[in-house]
Structure 1
Amino acid sequence: MPIATGLKKKLSIAACKVSGGTISVDGSKTAFDVMINPAGYKRQLSIDYNKKKTLGQANAEPKFSAVCPENLTLENLVLDGTGVVEQATYRSVKEMIDGLLKVIYNYDGKQHEPNYVRLLWGTFIFFGRAESISIDYTMFKPSGEPLRAKVSLGFTGWMSSEESSLRANQSSPDLSHLVEVAMGDTLPLLCNRIYNDSSYYREVARINNLTNFRNLEPGQVLRFPPLV
């Protein structure tokens, strides 16, 4: 059994690489450890619904489309260069901010885009990308060099294509569909099955060049485009 040291774990933000649909920490890049842990963090979970209305319809029943990536917010991370808080990695607030931005904001030379990152704090772990960065400088030397800053960060979660497919409703009307006609199928029935609205049958007939949509042949393949 490990011995408890009483030391608090610092929030660490590390650059990551994505390969083959998996994400992992890039050991070739230096992680950023916060000077003072945040007082807390906020997670935002959201679900996307299709709220398309038909002509003359006052209200539309929201129809599930997909589960969106999680968002994470960290507020008021304190960076202190007064010497009150001991730290050995950076010599100034400017160096601290440069180190943070190198991990979460600056372009990766190979990918030509900002890094994916992993946030690790005790048992909490989050993979994603920075979406917003706000830096509030609150104390300065007579020369104007900042001595203290508060940083607020917003991240959007990373989701593999496999996880996205599992979370998404693959029968969503916002996706294109190829449907093989079965015995007894009618175009209004298929439109109701895919769009939850049979009134789209004329538009689907036009897209598929159907001259007689009332007599569909079993085995016939029809395209149902996404709603826009």
Structure 2
Amino acid sequence: MDVQSLAKLPFNLKIIPTTVDGIPAGLPFIAMFNPESFSVHEDLVWNRPCPPGKQGSEPTYVKTNPRTFTIEFTLDGTGVNTNGVKIPVTAQMALFRGVTTNIRGSIHRPHYLMVQYGTFINVCIMNSSNVTYTMFDMFGLPIRAKVSATFTERTIKGLSDVLGMLSSPDLTHRKTVKEGDLLPLLTREVYNNQHYYIQVARVNRIKNFRKLKAGTELFFPPLSKK
């Protein structure tokens, strides 16, 4: 590999095996070439009830599914990027599969993964990969291939608990009023129910909840367990 390519290697796409807690636990797969494309998909689930005889209704938020992302990159065995040293595509594929899809005896499943490319860092699992061989030598062995791999984002358990706590209606929240804010809508953001706005107004000693002063800090107490 030439000096320029070697200098860029630390910035190339890396797929790193990890423990369930997201700690690196093995040698990474480092792509020889950076991705040709990189796409991220986000999927929000909404409940859209429509009573009989009605044309439509207001969707209500249910959940946000984990993000999925797809990366496409090239494997090359011609030596074009390695100063003429030909690394067989079959060997590169074996390294890729060793990190992503091979069953690990100690955990009885493929590795948990971390994908890192530039500023994108994501703990995830791999859903699928598709390999298209595009060039062959005189013996019919592949010397170039395109890989398309799809991953699903993971939220590590401890982090998931923290994120859930930060948005929980069972905790105290404070919000700073912005111009145009309405108390029922702020209440809905915190409790997922706007009907508590009268109690919030009482706690904050608000006489006219229709005219909130911008810059005011409002206190949203935790909901009663009852």
- 1:165-199 C-alpha deviation (Å, 9 max, x unpaired): 6469879xxxxxxxxxxxxxxxxxxxxx999xxxx
Structure number having the greater helix percentage: 2
Aligned residue in 2 for 1:100: 96
Aligned residue in 2 for 1:130: 126
Q: What is the alpha-carbon distance in structure 1 between the residues aligned to residue 42 and residue 192 of structure 2?
A: 26
Q: What is the alpha-carbon distance in structure 2 between the residues aligned to residue 87 and residue 33 of structure 1?
A: 17
Q: What is the alpha-carbon distance in structure 2 between the residues aligned to residue 149 and residue 122 of structure 1?
A: 23
Aligned residue in 1 for 2:75: 79
The sequence identity of aligned pairs, in percent, is 29
> Following TM superposition, by how much is the alpha carbon of 1:95 offset from its aligned partner in structure 2, in angstroms?
0.7
Q: What is the alpha-carbon distance in structure 2 between the residues aligned to residue 87 and residue 25 of structure 1?
A: 30
- 1:61/1:150 Cα in 2 relative to 1: closer, same or farther (>3 Å)? same
Q: What is the alpha-carbon distance in structure 2 between the residues aligned to residue 47 and residue 162 of structure 1?
A: 23
- 1:71-125 C-alpha deviation (Å, 9 max, x unpaired): 11112x1111111121899831001011101111111212222211111223221
Of residues 133, 152, 158 in structure 1, which corresponds to 2:154? 158
Within 5 Å, give how 1:104-183 maps onto structure 2: 104-164=100-160, 166=163
- 1:120/1:90 Cα in 2 relative to 1: closer, same or farther (>3 Å)? farther
Q: What is the alpha-carbon distance in structure 2 between the residues aligned to residue 135 and residue 16 of structure 1?
A: 24
Q: What is the alpha-carbon distance in structure 2 between the residues aligned to residue 13 and residue 162 of structure 1?
A: 23
Aligned residue in 1 for 2:39: 42
- 1:170/1:46 Cα in 2 relative to 1: closer, same or farther (>3 Å)? farther
- 1:35-78 C-alpha deviation (Å, 9 max, x unpaired): 10113411222222223455665534321112221111112x11
Q: When the two structures are superposed, what TM-score results if normalisation uses the length of structure 1?
A: 0.62
- 1:4-24 C-alpha deviation (Å, 9 max, x unpaired): xx9322111110111xxx321
Q: What is the alpha-carbon distance in structure 2 between the residues aligned to residue 33 and residue 99 of structure 1?
A: 9
Q: What is the alpha-carbon distance in structure 2 between the residues aligned to residue 136 and residue 98 of structure 1?
A: 15
Of residues 7, 29, 33 in structure 2, which corresponds to 1:32? 29
Equivalent residue of 2:82, what SS? coil
Could you list the runs of 5+ residues in structure 1 that have no partner in the other structure? 1-5, 172-192, 196-220, 222-228
CA contact (8 A) 1:66 1:167 kept: no
Query: RMSD across aligned C-alpha pairs, in angstroms?
Result: 3.3
2:15 paired with 1:16: no
> Following TM superposition, by how much is the alpha carbon of 1:163 offset from its aligned partner in structure 2, in angstroms?
4.6
Aligned residue in 1 for 2:58: 61
Q: What is the alpha-carbon distance in structure 2 between the residues aligned to residue 107 and residue 89 of structure 1?
A: 30
CA contact (8 A) 2:78 2:84 kept: no
Structure number having the greater strand percentage: 1
- 1:87/1:60 Cα in 2 relative to 1: closer, same or farther (>3 Å)? farther
CA contact (8 A) 1:49 1:62 kept: yes
